[in-house]
Amino acid sequence: MATKFLLTLAICRLIVTVGLTLDPTELLSLEMEGRLSLEPSDVGSASRDFGGMQSSEPLAVLHPASAEDVARLVKAAYESAQGFGVSARGHGHSINGQAMAGNGLVIQMSGSSAGGSRRLGPRVSEELMHVDVWGGELWIDVLRSTLEYGLAPKSWTDYLYLSVGGTISNAGISGQAFNHGPQISNVLELDVVTGKGELMTCSKEHNSKLYHAVLGGLGQFGIITRARIALEKTPTRVKWIRVLYSDFATFTQDQEYLISLHGQKRKFDYVEGFVIVDEGLINNWRSSFFSPRNPVKISSLNADGGVLYCLEITKNYHESNADTIDQEVEALMNKLNYIPASVFTTDLPYVDFLDRVHKAELKLRAKNLWEVPHPWLNLFVPKSRIADFDKGIFKGILGNNTSGPILIYPMNKNKWDEKSSAVTPNEDVFYLVALLRSALNDGNETQSLEYLSNQNRKILRFCKEEGIDVKQYLPHYTTEQEWRNHFGEKWNLFSSRKTEFDPRRILATGQRIFTPSL
Ligand code: FAD
């Protein structure tokens, strides 16, 4: 009753604020358990994201207490005479305003609903090896709850303070993807509120069209309120190894060999890598690793075109087989052709490995370097053109200052479900190249947002001119034609799914794929 009163009050304020752009009678009649907020702090945080480059204010923010709250609000938006955009927001870690809803409503899926919540807490089935979680749950909390049962999801992102709904609206990738596929290949079932406000359960067997549409669907077809995620038994510890290469072809050959071992017992559990164009970066990570030899100086390594490549691999193990793990690692390492004096290893608890980026976050926060603009560019590059990409971009356009880490690692396409909405290059193996840059306002032109954004455009232009058929991961485009090009032969399916599940095109308007019919 009290909640209803507060909601009514909030809506009255909303009406005054926006001058009756929403139909009041429809919203007032909504029975909701959650909290509809017009507070500047809520509206302000829903207008920002990690990218720090866009800002778009919603009219109000709903903190839902249940999937039914989400359904009621979307249904009201769908049925209202005027219509309004509704975007789910997970943890707001998008780069280009993808979770925003200018002049619409944001449903804040992560964080608390402030009392009376009937949201699903993580529910583990030990027998069936899966967990059911609320769509706004953060992966770090999913991990914490499954660990109580000695279980954990199989496929991860590098950073765990992201929501389940947010990553599976994209794909969710990290060094395990070559073996387990992206996170979207490990989702068994979903509850989804469609753009008509219908709450539906879907899986490969049941409502499969909706299931496949939503996975990698950029929030276009529904709001995920529950996801069932496959689990495996957790290892307790991890051998984490970094080795260097000065020759790009040798580096990629080794990466491709390692991912060809997917599905086998004798393989690494995680394969990533990064590009080093300046000495500062290597010094950053060396401190937490042990090197058997002298500290490596990039200048002494005869780097190919001034660039070094670092392969990053891990082997998981249980303390009970600690005595054999070194031999297993050595047998795998013997097949690789890295610079012999460049082996850096460390050994740490599995959870600390998975949560490794959070440590970097805390360090950056302490230096006020976390909440800065992030003109990130993530590309999937086909294997056949990765050498051209290296030549033109790592050894060309980038110069010797990258303003942040550059990840590079290959994945197997057969671990991705072609029926999902995610888009990848048309080759059996493709690379993720992630340029994770931070812009600074410190007077150094090459660190500025304008410089880095310009460089991103140059990179995309280079790929186009050279006919390198890259696909953006976490894509951002502004015209329908660009979206059509991005989806390629999947466009017709993508847009027909949109018509079926969100006919008024009111969901996730911040992606700017479809024009809402308002
Ligand atoms: P938001 O930014 O809140 O939302 C993203 C999109 O999903 C929006 O369109 C939104 O409307 C939609 N959405 C959100 N919740 C739902 C829901 N419940 N139902 C339907 N749609 C929804 N990605 C990787 O794959 N691998 C990585 O290793 C990785 N590391 C990252 C590290 C950092 C520091 C950052 C900032 C991002 C990283 N990402 C990575 C990218 C990340 O996966 C995406 O940005 C993801 O969308 C973030 O999740 P979020 O909860 O913050 O989503």
| Residue in 222, 181, 182 with CA at minimum distance from that of residue 70 | 222
Task: Provide the pLDDT confidence category of residue 284 given band limits of 50, 70 and 90.
Answer: low
CB 368 within 8 A of CB 286: no
| Residue in 514, 509, 506, 460 with CA at minimum distance from that of residue 73 | 506
Q: Which CATH class is domain 123-233?
A: alpha beta
Indicate the Cα dihedral angle 135, 138, 141, 146, nearest 10°.
50
State if residue 137 touches ligand 1 by the CB under 6 angstroms criterion.
no
Identify the sign of the CA torsion 325, 330, 335, 336: positive
pLDDT in tens, 312-332: 999 999 999 889 999 999 999
State if residue 183 touches ligand 1 by the CB under 6 angstroms criterion.
no
| Relative orientation angle of helices 491-501 and 480-487, to the nearest 10 degrees | 110
Sheet arrangement for strand 406-412: 344-349, 237-245, 308-317, 270-276, 406-412, 429-435, 377-382, 471-473
Q: pLDDT at position 286, please? A: 45
* CB hemisphere CA count around 342 (13 angstroms): 22
Q: Whose CA is nearest to atom 42 of ligand 1?
A: 167
Specify the range with the lowest mean pLDDT, choosing from 2-6, 7-11, 386-390.
Answer: 2-6
Task: Provide the pLDDT confidence category of residue 100 given band limits of 50, 70 and 90.
Answer: very high
State if residue 99 touches ligand 1 by the CB under 6 angstroms criterion.
yes
The span from the CA of 275 to the CA of 399, in Å, is: 12
- Looking at every residue in the chain, the average pLDDT score rounds to 90
Q: Which residues pair with 105 in a beta bridge?
A: 60, 86
State if residue 167 touches ligand 1 by the CB under 6 angstroms criterion.
yes
| Residue in 377, 313, 375 with CA at minimum distance from that of residue 344 | 313
Active site residue 137: no
Candidate list 272, 355, 417, 502, residue with the active-site label: 272
Domain boundaries, the chain: 2-114, 123-233, 237-473
CATH code, residues 2-114: 3.30.43.10
- Checking ipTM against 0.90, whether it exceeds it is yes
- Which residues 6+ apart lie within 8 Å of 471 measured at CB? 379, 380, 423, 424, 425, 486
For residue 213 the two structure tokens come to 């549409």
For residue 449 the two structure tokens come to 């947002």
- Which residues 6+ apart lie within 8 Å of 8 measured at CB? 28
Amino acid identity, position 243: V
Active site residue 486: no
Candidate list 63, 91, 93, 476, residue with the active-site label: 93
Q: pLDDT at position 282, please? A: 52
What are the distances in angstroms from CA 274 to CA 11, 244, 281, 375?
Answer: 50, 10, 10, 18
Task: Provide the pLDDT confidence category of residue 266 given band limits of 50, 70 and 90.
Answer: very high
pLDDT in tens, 219-259: 999 999 999 999 999 999 999 999 999 999 999 999 999 99
- Tokens 């490990």 belong to 186
Span from the CA of 226 to the centroid of ligand 1 (angstroms) = 16
Q: Which atom of ligand 1 is nearest to the CA of 510?
A: 9
pLDDT above 80 for 57: yes
Candidate list 158, 254, 312, 502, residue with the active-site label: 158
pTM above 0.80, yes or no: yes
The span from the CA of 241 to the CA of 406, in Å, is: 18
Active site residue 93: yes
| Residue in 67, 32, 60, 64 with CA at minimum distance from that of residue 45 | 60
pLDDT in tens, 68-81: 999 999 999 999 88
Q: pLDDT at position 401, please? A: 74
Domain 237-473: CATH superfamily is FAD-linked oxidases, C-terminal domain (3.40.462.10)
The span from the CA of 296 to the CA of 231, in Å, is: 39
Span from the CA of 155 to the centroid of ligand 1 (angstroms) = 15
